[in-house]
A and B are shown apart, each in its own frame.
Chain A
Amino acid sequence: MPEMTLKSPPLPRGLLARSVDLGTSRISAAAVALISILIIWHAGSIVFRPWIPTIPSTFVEMGYDLTSRAFWGDFALTMGRVLAAFAAASIAGAVIGVLIGLNEKAEAFFQPLLALALAVPDPVYIIFAILAVGTGELAGFIALTVAVAPFVTNIVRSNVHARDTDLDEMAQVYHLPRGVRLAAVLFPQLVPAFLTAMRFSFALSWKLVVVVEALGQPDGIGAAIFNSFRLLRMREVAATAIIFIIAMQLLERGVLGRVEKKFLRWRD
């Protein structure tokens, strides 16, 4: 029989210690992920030279971009397009989502259209919009709104269906006016859905704006990336893309994170 050793049971650990452990392990995991990406990038830049730029040269290029007036001009243009498309898609998608979530006839009407809209690949909208209204600002705006809104609608609609109907009954018993029912009973229940939809909408919007600019616009970050690609300046492509991705991530986490905290403070 193997010799058994008795170990004393582990000491109970405090919540703070566990939180610190969790925080440390998250930071460690993120650091490992970042280092892994840099290793893969470095290996890629050796194997696929010159098509994958080296890490130092890309960082130098990022420094040039960040001090360049042309880059910030493109950045402002792209941001304007992203925000316009994001706002239009979020509002249109949320309104239709609430409508079809509450009204069976509206749902019967919109359901097939929604299924179709969700199935169409995004570039198809972009191509059709460019063919229909030319390569101006309107084409991108229409394509992005039509591409993103169905996702928002789908998220909001599902959450309207999943709402707490006991609260609807309470509102009915106490004769709350329709406006109050929407503003005080329904919409607060949908805040998490709206936030999820906004995150999704924002993430999809900026990615699609870059594609629209690359395909049909003379300016903006997407056009800058495409021009660098045509001239085979891969260092510029990587630098511009990295700065833009970081900026979008900061915006998404910063602004939407604050909105989330404000509207869901009753959960804390």
Chain B
Amino acid sequence: MELRQICLSGIRLGDTRFRFTLDKPDEKLMVSIQEAGIVEPVIIKAKDNAFILVTGWRRVEAAHASGLKEVPALVLPSELTDLDIFRLAFFESYAQKDFSLAEKALIINKFIDFGLGQEELIRKLLPLLALPPERKTTDLLDQLAGLDWALPAIHRCRWKLPTARLFLSFTHEEQKLIISLTDAFNHNQQAEFIELLFTLKKRHRMGIEAILSDREMEQLVRKAKEGKPQAGQELLAALKKRVSPLVTKINREIQLAVKEINLPDKCWLDYDHSLEQKSISISLEARSAEELDLALKDLGQSLKAGEWDFLFRQLSKKIDE
């Protein structure tokens, strides 16, 4: 490899055949390049009097943004095939970076395009990427890589394989809608959001546009798209209510029963919201025997007044009652 100073304008940034990283230059990289320039050379391939970038995409983008004219680059020997070059680019990053699922999808897709055989891909590459070494994994990620418009969001939100698998089952329009809402949720909420939509879609045999079309949902979706605080959480709660109508209804009834009880100050009541246990737990805060005695007496009075019977009835309620 030959080390040269390369004019930035000579690099064809539109040719992204070797690119699989999706991070953009951050503040720290910008400062570093503004202060010290590019210290570590990027890697390029010479082609038809121009250059194709192999590694160093963030550095080159930062250099452009900082107004640099030239960058140090290692020029690859011309006899290397695109597969050799991509392998080199992959292993150059492999030790330094935890790839997101979106990046792993691009890596697999490009290795397939450059002609790497399925066996090597599955047996050698997938374990390196901490992915299940199975053909269905490469099939799924190859398909995901085809959704280039969605990859930045999938990368940013650090999706995992199960979420991506569900996502791919939606129609193109539905996928667009899901991606448009990703910013309303944190990572775990996104996985849950997609899971809930998948369940409702399959259970009711209707598209998610129809699922999200009633008045309550429409408002929540609008708020989520506008980035209103808590909008994502509210949307999730509304979807959960639809996926779990029985648990939601029983919980609502239990909570109404809890409200009927005059709990003493500094006394809290809790129960198993999954409804697996019929018991309740009560916690009290007391700083002296007198305080404790008073709280217990208050509890005893409320018990005598029959305020708790309704709650226990709700907790033990059978479905058909």
A binds B: no
- Report B's interface with A, CB cutoff 8 A: none
